Each structure stands twice: as structure tokens, then as C-alpha cells.
Amino acid sequence: MVQRILDQRYELEELIGGGGMADVYRAKDRLLNRPVAVKILHEAFKQDKEFIDKFQREAQAAARLSHPNIVNIYDVGVADGDHYIVMEYVPGRTLKDRIRQEGHLSVSESLRVAREIAEALAHAHANNLVHCDIKPHNILMMADGHAKVADFGIARAVTESTMTYSGNVIGSVHYFSPEQAKGTMITPKSDVYSLGVVLYEMLTGKLPFTGENPVSIAVKHLQEEPVPVRQIDPAIPPVVEAIVSKAMSKDPAMRPTSAELVQDISQAERMLMAGTPQTPAMMAQDPDATQVLPRVQPVQQSIPPRRAPQNEVYEQDEPEQEKSIFKSKKFIAGLLVVLLAGFFIGAFMSYGKFWSTAEVTVPDVTGKQMTLARQILEDKKLRVNVAETYNADVPAGQVVSQNPTAGSKVKEQRLVTIYVSKGGEEIEMPDLTGLSKSDAEAQLKKMGLKLGSVYEKYSNEEAGTVIKQDPKAGTKISRGQTVDITVSKGKQSHKVSVPDVTGVSLDAAKAALQSHGLRVGSVSKQESRQATGTVISQSPASGEVEEGSSISLVIAEPVKQQVQKPDKKDPEKNSNSEAKVPSKQNENGKER
């Protein structure tokens, strides 16, 4: 973009910076003849009317800020569909550039810069503005060494919009607070946490949390404690380490406000200038320092019995008759006041201004990020109550449901409860292998999981048995998540042809059958004129059978000779009787 003039006033001269949200140009204000910086939003945010309206409101609110440590915003506008902000032009480098060039800052310089940033934040927080993107890249260092905080009015709008669309936090993951990483409520103390990270980096030249990807870094913001700054550089005073640790507390309630942080840093600067040694013993002598004190037990004082005045008369050995307070007029009147007050408070909390006739339509905020949902409801003059719930189907930080529902007509200031997803409750994946499909499904249902796809596969396991699962057993998964399983179909069937083994020996038949994946079954014998041991028949004789099937064989054995039985009636026919053998005659015709 060269030689472009916005609204016939701001002449763009040079691109001097940019990021994922906008580009920044050095420009000339032709009307006032002064250098300015112009920030133009990227194309991705031009079509979102809800985001643009909020961006403009916050940018205009930020323009009302006036503080020496805040970059002044001069103008907000739209030119040819491009939304832009005109800001004070601060020549020089960013705090990030200075840290990169110098490695790290001295303790006194780090405290001074942090105090100036904290003073700027305290001024903004007093005007109900949260920066939401404090990082060294957004701190401009002036020529005289003083710091100016930039990007007020855009960071919160952009953060809410991007979180609404994707359910993910897009921003400076190294610097944002645990509540930003989680996608829950952002408060002024979120800025305090980010400033604690900036101070950590100024003192050590290192970031407290690093990782392979933004998600792993965000998880560390939520779960891990940073390496103490004195462990990196023992020369850093303990009081300074305490300031960093307190500002970076995971719990926002444990962090100081921005105004309190200014006081803490100022006190530490005075102690360092005075040369006070920062030993734990000296710190304990500070009446304002955090100390662990023994629990104070209440002192029991003996109260002397009250003497009765001389003009009072008491009946001896008879207790004074007590008058029930529940029957007194004062009690009844007070009870009525409490009941009426409770009614008015309950009516206001539940139904809004019951004395007001103004009604509003509850907007639909389901699926939106919590911070944006809150803003939408508050813009409709509704109050918001946030409740968290586990839901594996809705990304963490997004609204799952609301009460009253969208479209309902309610009175203004009605309390609307939005239920924000905490994601799926993490549980350990059970081992389903070896179970039947029905048992696996029952186990998943019992643990709040859903059965997903069911695949089938041949295996050596019994048919119907779970042989594989996804996710694997022992992994962390969210309650409500679907689980895919693979079920055994049993052994895979395979047909083979039955060879003809008749006419060969039994050993040859066995070898032939084994070569076809078959085996010999029963072997019987049958008399046959074929060679002994030869296969004379088989069953089945041909066709296809399952691999591994048995083939029955019949082999030949010799035929037995029949023995003639004696005939008792005709002995001559007996085979054992003597048979007359005709004798041979000689040449004379006589027997020899």
C-alpha cells in the first residue's frame, strides 16, 4: 500500500510493523501536520459486524485514556472498508527489541519499566478497560528510556472474536494468563499476570514457559510453576522474586491489583536505592510484608456476676420467667422486613426490575466464547451468571446452554445464567480387549463414554471378541468421547481342492493331502485284489473343503482263501477222504 490517503487526511508513508491482527504504518496527519501511526485491521475481521461494533466501542473508549505511559489514540474510522486506528507515533524500538539486543535488563531498570507499565494499566483499569495482550512487543521504548503501552482498544475485541470463531485462543501464548489459556473470565488481573511474565523476561532474558507448540505452552500456564528468577540469576533480590511470583499466581485472587503492583514495585525500588540488604530476616521485619503468624486464640475473660441494685427485688429460688422473643412485636416486624427484602431481592435476581416495564429479548449466545457472550448479554441490559459444566462436544470456554433460552421476553436486568463448557472430564481409557461387544459397550456406557465405529477383522481370537480399541487403554480421554473398537470375526475360512489319492500308498496319500493343507482322517481297510496298502477310496472324493479338513481313506488288504467244510451225508465228497487216482497203465493195459 503506497501513497494511500485515508479519508483525505492520513497519508501512509511506510509499513513499520504488523502481526496476525493488523498492519501498522507510519503516516502523516495532513490536517495537523504531524507524524502518526495508523493501524489497519486485516481482511479476516472486516466481515464480522459484531466484532467491528465492539472494536469501535472499545477503541473509542481507549481514546479517552490520557496517561504519559499510554500511547495516545487520536482517531478511529473506516476507509474503503478498512477499519483503522490513528495513534501517537513513537519512534524507537519495542521492549522486545531491547531485550533481544541487551540479553536482559538490570534489576533497577526492569523495575522502573514494570512500574511504568503497571501505572498505565492501573489508569486503564480504573476506566474499565482491560488490555488483554500485554507483552514486550506492545511496549514502545521512547528515546528518553520511558515506556509507553500500545494497542489499547484492539486487543480485547480481537481476542474475543477469534476465540468465538474457533474455540481456540489466538494471541501471545507466552504471555497470556491461565484464565485466557482456559478461555474463562478475563479480568484486570489477567493483565497483571502478563506483566509478571514481562518482568520475568526483563530480569532473566528468558520466557517462563516454552514448548513445541502453543497448546503445550498454554498447558504449562495452567499446570506448572516457572523456574524462580533467583535460580536463574542469584543476584536478583528476594523482594523482586516475590513480586514476580505474586504477579504470576495461577489464582487471580492471589495476584495484586495493578494499583497494588505499582506500590509493591515502588517500595522495592526504594529499598534497593537505600541499599537495604534483602535477606529473609529483613523482609520479615517489614510490617507490610506477607508473614505466617500463629493462630490467635480468643481470650476468655471472666465476667463478674452482676449485682442487683438495692431497689430491685428478686424472688428466691425461682427462675425469672423468660419472655419469648418470637412473640414480641419487634421480632414480628423485623421478620416482615426480612421477608419483604428477600422477596424484592429474589424478584430482582430472577426477573429483573419488576417495577420496570422495559422488556428485552434474550439473545442467543450458545456456541460463543464466554467473554463475548457476557458482553452481548450485558449490552442488552441483562446481568450474567456463569456456571461451568463438562461437555465433550463443545470446546472449552464456549457456551453450552443458557437460561432463560434465546428469544425469551424478560425484563431488563434479568439474571441470565450461561453454562460454559469445561471440555470433557478427563478419565483413563479402560482396556476393552478380550470382552464381547456387548460387554465392551456396557463398560463404556458405565464410564460415560460412547461406542463409536465397530470394525470386524479375522483373527485367531474367538468370534465376537474385542481385539483392538481406539483410543488405547490407559490414555487420558474426555468423558463423553466416542471409542472405536475392532471385533474378531474368528479364523478366516479358506477353501482348498481335494486331490485324488486313490491308487497310491498310504504314505503317498498323506503327503499329497498335507501339501493341499488337508490331513488324513480315519483309515479303514477293505479286502481287494489291489496291492496291499493301496488307497482304494476316499471321502470326500473331490470338490472343495475348508483348509485343515480331514479326509477319510480306505486301503486295500489281501483277499482271504475260503476253506471247504466236510459233507457228513456223502463222505466221498469230503476233501479229506481218499480220492481214487486213476493209475497209469502199461503198454499191456495192466495197472502198474
Per-residue confidence at 311, pLDDT binned at 50, 70, 90? very low
What is each CA distance from 467 to 328, 443, 491, in whole angstroms? 77, 15, 13
Locate CATH 3.30.200.20 in the chain.
Answer: 5-88
- Per-residue pLDDT at 270 exceeds 70: yes
DSSP secondary structure letters along 295-310: PPPPPP-PPPPPPPPT
Residue 485 has pLDDT above 60, yes or no: yes
> Poorest-confidence range of 118-127, 200-209, 246-255, 276-285?
276-285
Cβ 219 vs Cβ 153: under 8 Å: no
In the numeric block, the cell 470386524 is attached to: 456
Residue 133 is among the residues annotated as catalytic for this protein: yes
Residue 222, SS3 per DSSP: helix
3-state secondary structure 85-136: EEEECCCCEEHHHHHHHHCCCCHHHHHHHHHHHHHHHHHHHHCCCCCCCCCH
Instruction: Output the nine-digit C-alpha cell for 315.
Output: 424472688
Higher pLDDT, 450 or 314: 450
Distance of CA 541 to the CA centre of its chain: 66
Q: What percent of the chain has pLDDT over 70?
A: 76
Axis-axis angle for helices 188-204, 258-273 (nearest 10): 30
Domain with CATH 3.30.10.20 in the chain: 349-421, 426-488, 495-556
Query: Is the model's pLDDT at 341 over the cut of 50?
Result: yes
pLDDT for position 60: 76
What local confidence, expressed as pLDDT, does residue 336 receive? 67
pLDDT value, residue 165: 31
In terms of DSSP bridges, do strands 415-421 and 383-389 run parallel, antiparallel, or are they unpaired?
parallel
Instruction: Tell me the H-state helices in 432-483.
Output: 437-446
pLDDT of residue 436: 92
User: Out of 180-194, 280-294, 509-523, which region has the weakest mean confidence (pLDDT)?
Assistant: 280-294
Most confident of 157-171, 476-490, 498-512: 498-512
Q: What is residue 388's predicted lDDT score, i.e. its pLDDT?
A: 82
Closest listed residue to residue 461, CA positions, set 484, 498, 482, 492: 492
From 23, 75, 133, 191, the catalytic residue: 133
Q: Which of 185, 159, 160, 190 is nearest to 175 (CA)?
A: 190
pLDDT over 80 at 541, yes or no: yes
The mean pLDDT value for 294-313 works out to: 39
What mean pLDDT, rounded, does the chain reach? 79
Find the mean pLDDT for residues 24-44.
Answer: 89
Of 49, 210, 186, give the one whose Cα is nearest residue 130: 186
Mean pLDDT of 373-394: 84
Domain 349-421, second-level architecture: 2-Layer Sandwich (3.30)
What the block records as the C-alpha cell of 493 is 475360512
Look at 341 and 538; give whichever has higher pLDDT: 538
pLDDT digits (tens, 9 = 90+) for 235-263: 999 999 999 999 999 989 899 999 999 99
| C-beta of residue 177 within 8 angstroms of C-beta of residue 190 | yes
User: Which positions make up the binding site?
Assistant: 39
- Beta-carbon contacts of residue 481 (< 8 Å; ≥ 6 apart): 392, 424, 449, 450, 471
238 preceded by cis ω (within 30°)?
Answer: no
How far apart, in whole angstroms, are the C-alpha atoms of residue 36 and residue 85?
10
Strands (E), 145-191: 147-149
For the annotated binding site for ATP, the residues are: 39
Question: What CATH number does domain 495-556 carry, 3.90.1200.10, 3.30.390.30, 3.30.10.20, 2.30.22.10?
Answer: 3.30.10.20
pLDDT of residue 102: 93
Mean pLDDT, residues 290-318 taken together: 38
CATH number of 426-488: 3.30.10.20
CATH 3.40.50.11060 holds for 5-88: no
Residues 6+ apart with CB under 8 A from 360: 380, 381, 382, 409, 410, 411, 412, 414
In angstroms, rounded to a whole number, what is the distance separating the alpha carbons of residues 147 and 134?
13
Q: Tell me what the mean pLDDT of segment 210-230 comes to.
A: 87
State the pLDDT at residue 182. 78
Amino acid, res. 330: K
Give residue 564's pLDDT: 60
Most confident segment among 40-44, 270-274, 473-477, 524-528: 524-528
Q: Give pLDDT, residue 329.
A: 63
Q: What does the pLDDT read at residue 214? A: 78
pLDDT tens digits, 135-146: 999 899 998 889
Task: List where CATH 1.10.510.10 sits in the chain.
Answer: 93-276
CATH code for residues 93-276: 1.10.510.10
d(CA 519, CA 507): 12
Give the model confidence (pLDDT) of 494-520 as tens digits: 788 999 999 999 999 999 999 988 999
Q: What is the pLDDT of residues 343-376, one digit of tens each?
A: 555 555 545 554 456 889 999 999 888 878 888 8
DSSP 3-state of 5: strand
- CB under 8 Å to 553, separation ≥6 — which residues? 501, 506, 509, 520, 521, 522, 523, 524, 535, 537, 538
- pLDDT for 565: 61
